[in-house]
Chain A
Amino acid sequence: MVRFLFEPGLFSNDTVRTALLLGALVSIVSGVVGVFTVLRGQSFAGHALTDVATAGGAGASLAALSPLVGFIGGGVIGAGAMDAIGVQRVKDRDVATGVVLGAATGLSALFLYLITLQTTTTGSTQSILFGSVFTVAPSTVPDVLVLSAVVLAGVTLIRRPLLMSSISPELAAARGVRLRVVGLIFMVMLAAAVGLSAIVIGSILSTALLIGPPASALRVASRLSHALVLACALGVAATWLGVVFAYDSYYWLGSGRGLPVSFFVVADVAAEFVVVSLVAWRRRQRTTALPESLTVPEQVGWV
């Protein structure tokens, strides 16, 4: 079984080792930020930020900058734009998100076209949209490490007001939390998390890592700490299994070709969600007959 799962040379391969390290870091950041994103109902905003990150990544490639700079720079600008248009009220949120998303995607189309006209870089569309953790330059690793630490520290610092404003904005406002400031700081953290995960599985797919594992975790967790730990664990499992499967796929087809690692990561995330949802459903059937709508306000107790 072990020999079946781990094809020869897996652990001595530098590319694979870098991929496992990056995958773990990014999954942890995405897991932590993702739990709050799902709690705040900002999954769509998270997805729109991936489109802004795409434009940033393409712009960076055009200007011969590091893709990480582009992904995160684009994301932060997009977060600012969405906040300016009005991401605070739920009613305006979808509109702001949709407008930014459309504009950013158009910009990506322009940049990706200009790349083919002005640079010798090949396969930009594929690598920016869908990524490959196997092709990340090892020199990017320290940057990812520092940025991950910054995001995690940032979330830790504002965790109390963030959680309160996520679960009950009215309650938070009554207790003197400045919703707008907390919201903006969180959007910037979200943009950074999206940028980091774009490095690993591409900008378009980075929502999968941001939303998938936290959504799964929140289905079964009864406390915030459990949700955070479980989201990180599910994320790391998905990326590591994705890396292993992608490495092994080289031997499956017998054609000397591997399948894209991003596909395996995203497939793992989806499979985890299905399994966890089944577990949650079984558990709910066994314990209580309460309607599902009553389970969400339960999280007010987390504050």
Chain B
Amino acid sequence: MIPGKGAITRRRAHVATGLLSAATIVVASLVQASLAGASSPTVIRAVGAENEYANVIAQVGGRYVNVTSIMSNPNTDPHSFEVSTSVAREIASAQLIVQNGVGYDTFMEQLESSSSNSSRKVISVQSLLGLSSEVKNPHLWYEPTTMPLVAQSVEHGLAKIDPAHGAYFERRLTTFDSSFVPLARAISVFRAEFKGVKVATTEPVADYLLKALGLDNVTPFSFQADVMNGVDPSPEDIAFQQKLFTDHIVKLFCYNAQVISPVTTSLRDLAKSSHVPVVAVYETMPVPGYDYQSWMLAEVHALTRAIERHESTTSL
């Protein structure tokens, strides 16, 4: 049956009143929320420059922290990240920030100084680890000892901003630390079994983890740095790298899936045709489905499978 014209108008009127009242509720709750936010901050706004740091903040902060991450897209290269205005807004309103340093996220410092806030707590992982800016490999989160220190510093920061929930943050820090045990165990088991195994890499992203695992990364650092910085590696380095596969000098090829160039893809093809297993590693934490610990554990397992069963892991 086709409704009459009157029915339509009436229905429109109903819809209109419905929308209006909904809008009133939304506006009222917004006003309420902003008033509440102004008087007593119940949820701390935090920013992790890279999503692996954001993940650690979330693990420690739990329900009293609202975390956003700046670099989280697995389909981009963080080394060539460009800042947008929404990033600037998030940083301006953040109360706690974790950033890497060592030139990896220089834009963070610039945005922080352009929106100065004396009560904001900024944790630079570089200074937390006492490193100079001359450190050549900025991928500090792959070092297995880094994140427990970051978590501790985050807990201190959160407890200072919101002392009422200090005990809560402390409990969550303890949980975080104990969740690190399986990873630490996996690393020491790997090390005992495969210490000194030769591997090749495209880029230094996972180098700290490879070193902790006792692996011998034989790719020249000049090659890795050239790929990281987006300039062309020299033909000598490319030839050296090719020989690592064709002469089967290395047991696996650690491939940065987020920093790709024609050189890295042609090397990956060569590794495949030479039956050298490829293991994908990432700049930022692959999402969804991983937290920092399970991500690192997955990488260790992928490396184990590559050495033991010659199995490639082309994506996590």
Residues of chain A touching chain B, judged by Cβ–Cβ distance below 8 Å, are: 9, 13-16, 19, 113, 115-127, 132, 134-138, 246-247, 250, 255-258, 260-261
| Cβ A9 vs Cβ B82 within 8 A | no
Interface size class of B (residues with CB under 8 A): 20 to 34
Set of chain A residues within 8 Å of B237, measured between Cβ atoms:
256
Question: Nearest A residue to B84 by beta-carbon distance?
Answer: A117
Set of chain B residues within 8 Å of A117, measured between Cβ atoms:
76, 82
* Residue B143 is within 8 A (CB to CB) of chain A in the complex: no
- A247–B239 CA distance with the chains assembled, in angstroms: 12
* Binary per-residue interface labels of chain B (243-274) against chain A in the complex, 1 for a CB within 8 Å, 0 otherwise: 00000000000000111111101100000000
Set of chain B residues within 8 Å of A123, measured between Cβ atoms:
80, 229-232, 261
Per a CB cutoff under 8 Å, which of B76, B227, B234, B266 touches A138? B266
Query: How many cross-chain pairs have Cβ atoms below 8 Å apart between A and B?
Result: 100
Question: Nearest A residue to B265 by beta-carbon distance?
Answer: A137
| Cβ A122 vs Cβ B235 within 8 A | no
In this complex, the member of B81, B227, B231, B266 whose beta carbon has the largest number of chain A beta carbons within 10 angstroms is B231
| Cβ A257 vs Cβ B234 within 8 A | yes
* Binary per-residue interface labels of chain B (217-232) against chain A in the complex, 1 for a CB within 8 Å, 0 otherwise: 0001010001111111
| Cβ A127 vs Cβ B239 within 8 A | no
Set of chain A residues within 8 Å of B236, measured between Cβ atoms:
9, 13, 247, 250, 258
Q: Is the interface of A mostly helix, strand, loop or mixed?
A: helix
Per a CB cutoff under 8 Å, which of B222, B227, B238 touches A256? B222
Per a CB cutoff under 8 Å, which of B75, B82, B234, B261 touches A122? B261
| Cβ A134 vs Cβ B82 within 8 A | no
Quick one: which of B78-114 are within 8 Å of A by CB? 79-82
Question: Nearest B residue to A243 by beta-carbon distance?
Answer: B235
Set of chain B residues within 8 Å of A261, measured between Cβ atoms:
232
* Residue B291 is within 8 A (CB to CB) of chain A in the complex: no
* Binary per-residue interface labels of chain B (195-230) against chain A in the complex, 1 for a CB within 8 Å, 0 otherwise: 000000000000000000000000010100011111
Set of chain A residues within 8 Å of B126, measured between Cβ atoms:
none
Set of chain B residues within 8 Å of A135, measured between Cβ atoms:
232-233, 261-263
| Cβ A122 vs Cβ B239 within 8 A | no
Quick one: which of B265-296 are within 8 Å of A by CB? 265-266
Question: Nearest B residue to A12 by beta-carbon distance?
Answer: B239
- A257–B226 CA distance with the chains assembled, in angstroms: 9
- A289–B96 CA distance with the chains assembled, in angstroms: 80
Set of chain B residues within 8 Å of A134, measured between Cβ atoms:
232-235, 238
- A136–B262 CA distance with the chains assembled, in angstroms: 7
Query: Nearest-CB distance from A201 to chain B (Å)?
Result: 12
* Residue B152 is within 8 A (CB to CB) of chain A in the complex: no
